[in-house]
Amino acid sequence: MKVYQTKEIRNVALVGSAKTGKTTLAESMLFESGLLKRRGTVEDKNTASDYREIEFEREASVFSTVLNTEYNNCKLNFIDTPGFEDFIGEVVSALKVCDTALMLINAQNGVEVGTEVTWRYINRDEKPAVFAINQMEHEKANFEESVRQLKQQFGNKIVTAQYPVNEGLGFDTVIDVLKMKMYKFQADSGKAEISDIPDAEKSKAEELRNEIVEAAAESDEQLMENFFENGTLTDEELSKGIKLGVINRSMFPVFCVSAKNNQGPSRLMEFITESLPSPDEVGSTKTDKGEELKYDPTQPTVAFVFKTAIEAHLGEISFFKVCQGQITEAIDLINSNTNSKERLSQLFSIAGKNREKIDKVMPGDIAATIKLKSTFTDNTLTSTKNQGVKVEPIKFPEPKFRVAVKAKNTADEEKLMTVLKEMNNIDPTLKYEQSKELKQLILSGQGEMHLNITKWMIENLNKIPIEYYAPKIQYRETITKSAKADYRHKKQSGGSGQFGEVYMMIEPYVEGKPDQKEYTIRNQDSHDLPWGGKLVFNNCIVGGAIDTRFMPAILKGIMEKMEEGPLTGSYARDIIVSIYDGKMHPVDSNEVSFKLAGRNAFSQAFKNAGPKILEPIYDVEVLVPEENMGDVMTDLQGRRAIIMGMDSEGNYQKIRAKVPLAEMNRYSTTLSSISSGRATYGMKFAEYQQVPMDVQEKLLKEYEQEQQKVEE
């Protein structure tokens, strides 16, 4: 493959809901470009994109796949992404490095929830976008309805570039409004007979072309003036206006294809090379400090690693985009995230499972290298002149499904942790934590399917049998009123003994609350707790009843008990402790004695201070079709949700609610069942709130039973 310059490169993310045909379209485009000698199918498990064992089993994409080919004197880099929302991290990373999104729409279903979800990220990243309505050969294909839904959802920026003459069974003909020609495709060959538009279609074609001409004119002041003067644009002006309109997102052209029958992909690729932007035409990549990196081969090198994978016979492979400068084989670069040196010993141009060695990668291009020592997804590689520069990181979505996981064989526990670390390096949306608080290994991801795929990979590829079980909830304990308690620790064994006596008062901490007046505060320490909340520790001792040197020991005893709260063993928070009296022994008093006295006095006072259990509350947003609204609302209310509001988004309703985390277990499965997979949701931690009394009593009883089992 020749070395392509920035102007000759097109980076396109293939996105859309599941079953829209992204992988099939990618296969057809690679075939049309001549890279593939025959087209594979998802059903036959022989496509360039879906070549991994898990994808064979599911007959669907699980990972994004980098593909490249040459067409019309351009290098086309496609990233075929999964359609299921559980793998949205693959979509987000692809959009990070691609300059345009090609959104596929299923002609039978129109705009789906997956379309909505992906569009949010396209909008967030301000990416140009083109739509392709696929599966036009299906008997239930409805192009007009799909376009209507697109306009309803995304506005009048949607413009029709092509429309079908005979959609449904027997589909083979389209009117191309940009070329003002009719394309009649031969079955499976991809070739088309191009002819003039029939009289019966001229009126419709001219009307749609006028819409595109007006949209193109609006993209540039000079074009607008020409349009007003002449009433139209020349072909050259129209081409320029379309490109500008796509770049500034003032228009989103719509095409129609049958990827399965290879009808339309070649014309789509022609449009990509002629009208979609090269990397330098859509602005520059930004650093984490907001500085711009130019796609300039003469500048010091900066490359961004957007994907890491494990490939058979190659090991770890790192996919990167050159944001500035150029990369040659055997170049030494610095990882700005780890400050480690990396040698890119080999460079590859990747087309799924097909790899071609290359010698040079120019700015804006996408390539891969292997066996980097400590470089993973979201890392930046730079030359020494740019050392420390970091590309703005990928904004991955927060996890919304969690399980506790453990190896079935305890001997595999350490190996499991190593595997999870490797998997997190590959997929940053998959997170794990060895929770000291819950005494569980918690695995979090985007949904139940995401974690089920993870389990399959651990068991089948790494040969570690594991099991999932319900995770505990990170409750918190606090108090609602003040209380006093005292405790004497006395122990005599042989010569020296142990003695310490502590009197304390505890009260709830509230921001801005004035100090208590009952006892004079000699010294005050405020501690921000690692798990949230505060502990305020007041020394109110007068007359030397307790030596100052024992105060840290008392505080340590209190902190130990706050780490394992008196009610359920959960962390305690937001408490003010005032030590106002006590006793010492000239010989037997020591730090251990006062630590134990402080710990036990705190535990007694806590139980008399109106103790309450707090639970984590999450802000939840559910995007649901209108017809499923009632069932979703009923289910949320059954989960102790407080509905905060509702908004319309096209054909969908967005429900905003506050829901206890304890009630969100397996919610994605329930929501999918209620809506036939059409609804989606997101969640983010909001705050801690008191649990209802009946829930508190249940938790106390469960903890008591657990403690009894431990003692037995």
CATH number at residue 414: 3.30.70.870
Q: What is the per-residue pLDDT across 447-466, written as a single tens digit (0 to 9) for each? A: 889 999 999 999 999 999 99
pLDDT score, position 247: 95
Question: Which one, of 452, 397, 450, 448, lies nearest residue 669 by Cα?
Answer: 448
Name which of 613, 596, 558, 578 is nearest 506 in CA terms: 578
For residue 188, the model assigns a pLDDT of 67
Average pLDDT over residues 224-249: 91
Kindly state the tokens that stand for 594. 């006062």
Separation between Cα atoms, residue 200 and residue 259, nearest integer Å: 27
Helices 22-32 and 265-275 meet at what angle, rounded to 10? 80
Instruction: Share the mean pLDDT of the chain.
Output: 92
Q: Is 443 within the bounds of a domain?
A: yes
DSSP 559-582: HHHHHT-TTTSPEE-SEEEEEEEE
Distance CA 290, CA 305 (A): 18
Same domain, yes or no, for 461 and 530?
Answer: no
Task: Give residues with Cβ within 8 angstroms of 601, minimum separation 6.
Answer: 485, 486, 487, 502, 503, 504
Within-domain flag for 601: yes
Q: Which residues, 6+ apart, have CB-to-CB distance to 248 below 8 Å?
A: 219
- Pairing of the two strands 497-508 and 575-583: antiparallel
Please identify, among 471, 496, 512, the residue that sits at the C-terminal boundary of a domain. Answer: 471
- Nearest residue to 505 via CA among 482, 522, 528: 482
Last residue of a domain, one of 610, 644, 673: 610
Judge contact between 602 and 463, C-beta under 8 A. no
pLDDT score for 390: 95
Q: Specify whether 167 is located in the same domain as 74.
A: yes
Cα–Cα distance, 349 to 411 (Å, whole number): 41
Whether 439 and 314 share a structural domain: no
Mean pLDDT of 685-697: 94
Determine the number of helices (DSSP H) and then strands (DSSP E) in the chain.
16, 38
User: Are both 462 and 431 inside the same structural domain?
Assistant: yes
pLDDT at 711: 66
Is residue 267 a contact partner of residue 175, using CB atoms and an 8 Å limit? Answer: no
The answer to the question of residue 267 being in a domain is: yes
Indicate whether 431 pLDDT > 70: yes
User: Which candidate, 446, 302, 454, places its Cα nearest to that of 387?
Assistant: 302
H or E segment to which residue 418 belongs = helix 413-426
Find the CATH number of the domain harbouring 40.
Answer: 3.40.50.300
Q: What confidence tens digit (pLDDT) does each residue in 390-402 have?
A: 999 999 998 889 9
Residue 239 neighbours by CB under 8 Å, 6+ apart: 274, 275
Residue 201: pLDDT band by 50, 70, 90 thresholds? Answer: very high
SS3 211: helix
Which residue, 610, 638, 657, sits at the end of a domain? 610
Local confidence band at 354 (pLDDT 50, 70, 90 cut-offs): confident
Question: H or E stretch including 407?
Answer: strand 401-407
Q: What is the pLDDT of residue 712?
A: 60
Q: Per-residue pLDDT averaged across 688-701, rounded? A: 93
The single residue listed with the structure tokens 């990618």 is 26
Q: What is the pLDDT of residues 480-512, one digit of tens each?
A: 999 999 999 998 776 678 999 999 999 999 998
Do both 373 and 415 map to the same domain?
no
DSSP 258: B
- Which of 140, 29, 41, 133 is CA-nearest to residue 77? 29
Query: What percentage of the chain has pLDDT greater than the value 70?
Result: 99
* Residue 96 backbone phi and psi in degrees, to 5: -60, -40
pLDDT of residue 494: 65
pLDDT in tens, 145-195: 999 999 988 888 999 999 999 999 999 999 999 999 999 998 767 789 999
| Residue 214: inside a domain | no
**Alpha-carbon span 186 to 188, nearest angstrom:** 6
Domain shared by 289 and 314, yes or no: yes
Q: For residue 648, what pLDDT band results from cuts at 50, 70 and 90?
A: confident
Three-state DSSP class for 341? strand
Closest CA to 174 of 238, 246, 266: 266
Mean pLDDT, rounded, for 367-381: 94
Question: What whole-number distance in Å separates Cα of residue 72 and Cα of residue 232?
Answer: 28
pLDDT digits (tens, 9 = 90+) for 42-95: 998 999 988 888 888 888 899 999 999 999 999 999 999 999 989 999 999 999
In this structure, the strands spanning 483-492 and 497-508 are antiparallel
CATH of the domain at 641: 3.30.70.240
- For residues 136 and 13, membership in a common domain is answered with yes
Angstrom distance (rounded) from CA 521 to CA 538? 6
pLDDT at 240 (0 to 100): 93
The total of structural domains in the chain comes to: 5
For range 605-622, the mean pLDDT: 95
Are 50 and 139 members of one domain? yes
Amino acid at 486: D
Contact predicate 91/64, CB 8 Å? yes
Contacts of 506 (CB under 8 A, 6+ apart): 479, 482, 483, 484, 485, 575, 576, 577, 578, 602, 605, 606, 609
Q: pLDDT-based confidence at 562, cuts 50/70/90?
A: very high
Q: Does residue 45 lie within any of the structural domains?
A: yes
Q: Does 232 score more than 90 pLDDT?
A: no
Count Cβ atoms below 10 Å from residue 46 Cβ, excluding itself. Answer: 14
Residue 359 has pLDDT above 80, yes or no: yes
Q: How many CA atoms lie within 13 A of 173 on its CB side?
A: 13
Q: Quick one: angle between helices 551-563 and 591-607, nearest 10? A: 50
Tokens of 238: 């129209």
Cα 573 → chain centroid: 31
The pLDDT of residue 384 is: 85
The CATH number assigned to the domain holding 373 equals 2.40.30.10
Q: How many CA atoms lie within 13 A of 15 on its CB side?
A: 37
Residue 679 binned pLDDT confidence (cut-offs 50, 70, 90): confident
Residue recorded with tokens 């610095």 = 334
Residue 355 pLDDT class (50, 70, 90 cuts)? confident
b/e for 573-584, b at 16 or more Cβ within 10 A?
bbbbbbbbbbeb
Distance CA 479, CA 81 (A): 50
pLDDT at res. 704: 86
Residues 630 and 559 reside in one and the same domain? no
- Whichever domain contains 524, its CATH number is 3.30.230.10
Q: What is the mean pLDDT of residues 15-43?
A: 93
Looking at residue 88, the DSSP 8-state letter turns out to be H
Residue 240 within a domain: no
**What pLDDT sits at residue 279?**
96
Least confident of 490-494, 607-611, 695-699: 490-494
709 belongs to a structural domain: no
pLDDT at 314 over 80: no
Residue 703 in any domain: the answer is no
Find the domain containing 148 and state its range: 6-195+250-281
Residues 92 and 121 grouped into a single domain = yes
Together in a domain, 561 and 543: yes
Domain identity same for 139 and 172: yes
**Strands 100-106 and 9-16, how do they pair?**
parallel
